[in-house]
Structure 1
């Protein structure tokens, strides 16, 4: 749940709600206002603002204010000219739809890049490096995206497992040892089946890398490392998961790319050697992509 959503739904007192409504209305303008100024404008005491922060599980007013401003800043960036839920309408022709979806994908990738915490990314990649048994848990279309990551990793001799059989993921989670690693993908971070398996992993001391939306979630609380994806789509009211899919795909590509870079030359040499052995019979009439034609020209 996003912080501003929690602010809107939390059962505050009347005086506290007045402050919350003021914050939601003023947004970034509260950055230059002191706690005393905000309290005075809402005819209350600074202690009311501190109490609000505590109720929302922050250590104090400054931490709460900074988290709120960070979220406002994120929501104000990108996606200004495109609706992630309905990127095109029935009035758009095919060319317009293609253009708008290109713009949506670009926005989703930029949005995701902005959310990358470099410390968490480093920790995630190093965890993958030292772990022999990597398992990905996801549902529906996210499983298909995860399979591409699995394929990439397998081609540099790094085993990644995915359970695609419905109802078996809980058993797979139960069987993982604490020296394993789990990547758990969930947009909301609140899917019942995902939370159940994450709880099993947590109790078994299996490190969890969560890939989920911004804000507080049950999955995020259980994860050792959190990686954030673009958070612009509604859960159901949309044409398709265009932005979420682009975001997850990009983030998994970043994980793969960074993992590859840890032993760049070794991975490159191995991948090219194997590809040359198993794919050398592939040809094309295009000089751009046909490698045999390129070699003959170079010779």
Structure 2
């Protein structure tokens, strides 16, 4: 088959979640609902944190940034899919595909870094409670978020650099609803073994550091909690980590599912399901996890609801 350089590819074809025409209306309604719920839920968290002075703490500062990252994360994939369904088009231009991948890497890695920072925040709160306000001062918190954004921007250039020398055949159909690096490697006609090794090495380095940080933080947290004498004290200490730990397991569990399933072409359908869980369901569930398990957020949201009922 004749191959062509990436710069000669004008567009790719996104096959979406399902190619069944009868399911398109259902898929459109379902994903639009999940997108609106995700954006609304994360905006509510931002509103709650900004409106209540009691929530102006490092933990909620990082949670606000995580909400912004989740909004950006889901907005890189779902709106394009909704537009394609509405216009009955499956195409995405070469530039849009690379742009989508860059923002996908950016917000995905930013999510990972923020979860790591939040784990460290919990470590300081539990292991060094008397020094918490000194260690987690506003200047440090702002600097950490800024550095996380800069590293995420750097990481977002990975797909562009790795695809610069890849050639494709005439078949440019992506068996997903968004452009993803492993899927594009599967479509390549040229030898991508070196690129695949590079991408996994880069992901191992960039992804391994946050995961190691989270594991280290929770090892210290568990060790500190076990030294607490009363069972009530242990429960109270660990309950402050419950929401964060749930989000970490959901984020990394679905993320590993996406990239493990995408390496095997026979698991294309399973890869799409994993991608939906990772890119759509996880950002949607995060606000619910933090709202339902966090007394401060719940109190502010109930206050908003009571004010709304009066009017």
TM range (shorter): under 0.3
Please say which structure displays the higher CA radius of gyration.
1
The higher relative CO (CA closer than 8 Å, separation ≥ 6) is in 2
The structure richer in helix per residue is: 2
